[in-house]
Structure 1
């Protein structure tokens, strides 16, 4: 069986890219015939099973300027599809690459699966404040995913959201076992000197956020909570580090913020060291289908603080084994109280961190890859007479 994954993001700093790269790496390690097709003018992993088609033209994605909408030649995409001759196609993203690949797969009568990685309708609502815009986006997503044999999601919470909001019935949806690379993200990467590289000089606790520095990730809410927390705790020496790119990072000079460091994009070993060295990981997003970064933090044995909306809550508190605190989304007082409880009690943080690390022993990227492949094998078996 040959699987061909089509994606609009492959080298960007986001959870979808990291998941796709992990699938490509695991395929090579386990001798699985899996290929990835993308179109980007940016960084692309140098793997023998990754095929990058030069875009004919590209524009920054609205509300997400760090991600390009790259349009490859449809004929080039069809040519590589005929060259690879996959048995089954996986559409990872509903962008230009995904749209063209879906049409070509239908033309060749290939079974198509996909993953609902990103809640774009919720992003649009949060950035515009328009509920009707979200409803239009919901209908667009419903049309896009309607022909798919199976639509995967990486969190239990989104099985219901997919059915209720974009009409993907349970018979076509499936929970894909979430997992992270436990070698790349591990407590052994801890470094006492890593924070100085990014301008953190204080001796107090280090609080880390990793993701887009933007409205749809609820970062303005986080910054407001942080400033209120610092104002009510003037003796606290804690520092907040924001890792990633986004509109708010570009506007940081206009923000009067205390003990906030915009570290910019961080990748590779430096990112592993930051995770393992921080005292608390915060993720206020209420639109994430999973929260890959939350798994990475817990695998690094770090206590986490997340919202009670979306996928991250299921990662922090699977089956009642809490690896941190799950707090009501957008509740400023609740978040401030949680910060006070966690930053003033190192023992509490360490207990949560230990439990989160133990939880992550059940979230291995190898298991996720094995489930991914088996799901496609089952779909192919049903497709054939």
Structure 2
């Protein structure tokens, strides 16, 4: 199969879309599927013959994102030369739009994937006035797609209520070669000079849409008899980092951004993973924590609630109820028998979530779309 991927973010970016596409393209190479990726040019460009970078510059409102100016004529010639069987558009911005337009003009089967809960983002950044025009654009943008792949049943239900069609679930997997429970916890304790009994961790972007204000509350509002026994490891970066540091203490360590190989030992050494974000369409890091044998206290919202099995692999809390997160932490840490069962259940569940299975599902979906397009062209 020959696949052309259009995306406004790709490796070495550190968001969920880029990481997922990076894993997918690695799988395509492994399985001898030919592909090209049209993506923004980065300062640290990944060196590969498959990537066709487009001119880009930092987005004024958020420097971690880049706005691209795709060269449509060059990309059209590239597609004529490459002759893709299918185009996959992963983002709804300038490069994604270019992919949709060229797929229509060149009569190439078109699919897309939906990764971001823009509704939540607008709320957190006080841009709710843009809600209606954004949804109109998103519905228009995805209308030509013969399949739209979403990461969870939550997102599928969310989009089904709107003018989105041909939805299918493309779940995420976990790399159990990296994320597993067999790391030595003493290594992390020595590295970060942790003397407290319990380690609680958070991994992700430090930003308002991730509900990190709940972390600030938890730092100081847990009862003293348990709070004094807890050391927090906060992994990640973002605009809320300085505010979190203002409320920190010697029992809170901010590691900054880390590679997955460095994150996995932290998750395995953690007694609990606390993830209050309600804006996830899936929540890859939750699955990674479970694979490390770490129960998760998470928000009962978005894609996260489709991963955590209440009382079986973790505890779900109302996204706005800070006290519920505090209560959940206490209830799990104070019940050793339940805690051990949560650990065992988490490992068993996560080990079944293989990336290869998810990628095979996607490729089978591609095959179906290609066959449908061939039938339609014969009857045209």
Is the TM value for this pair above 0.5?
yes
Give the distance between the partners of 1:322 and 1:196, measured in 2 at CA. 31
1:183-223: CA deviation from partner (whole Å, max 9, x where unpaired) = 121223444223544x4533321111111100011112222
The counterpart of 2:209, out of the listed 201, 204, 216, is 216
Give the distance between the partners of 1:353 and 1:234, measured in 2 at CA. 20
Which residue number corresponds to residue 139 of structure 2? 142
Give the distance between the partners of 2:287 and 2:145, measured in 1 at CA. 28
Residues 1:26 and 2:27 aligned together: yes
Give the distance between the partners of 1:6 and 1:251, measured in 2 at CA. 36
Counterparts of 1:116-131 in structure 2, within 5 Å, are 116-128=114-126, 130-131=127-128
1:115-156: CA deviation from partner (whole Å, max 9, x where unpaired) = 11111232112221x533323322221121111111111111
What are structure 2's unaligned runs of at least 5 residues? Answer: 376-380
- Structure ID, larger Rg: 2
- Check the 8 A contact 1:8/1:96 in 2, yes or no: yes
- Check the 8 A contact 2:196/2:231 in 1, yes or no: no
The counterpart of 1:276, out of the listed 249, 268, 276, is 268
Counterparts of 1:51-200 in structure 2, within 5 Å, are 51-55=51-55, 57-60=56-59, 62=61, 64-128=62-126, 130-164=127-161, 166-169=162-165, 172-197=166-191, 199-200=192-193
Relative to structure 1, is the Cα distance of residues 361 and 193 closer, same or farther in structure 2, using a 3 angstrom cutoff?
A: closer
Alignment length, in residue pairs? Answer: 374
In terms of mean alpha carbon deviation, does 373-382 or 277-286 score higher? Answer: 277-286
Give the distance between the partners of 2:120 and 2:152, measured in 1 at CA. 16
Give the distance between the partners of 1:112 and 1:175, measured in 2 at CA. 16
- Check the 8 A contact 1:306/1:327 in 2, yes or no: yes
Counterparts of 1:276-295 in structure 2, within 5 Å, are 276-295=268-287
What are structure 1's unaligned runs of at least 5 residues? Answer: none
Which residue number corresponds to residue 362 of structure 1? 352
1:261-303: CA deviation from partner (whole Å, max 9, x where unpaired) = 2211100421222222221111111111100111111111111
Relative to structure 1, is the Cα distance of residues 24 and 321 closer, same or farther in structure 2, using a 3 angstrom cutoff?
A: farther
The counterpart of 1:226, out of the listed 216, 219, 226, is 219
Q: Counterpart of 2:359 in 1: which secondary structure?
A: helix
Give the distance between the partners of 1:350 and 1:34, measured in 2 at CA. 44
Give the distance between the partners of 1:138 and 1:257, measured in 2 at CA. 42
Give the TM-score normalised by structure 1: 0.90
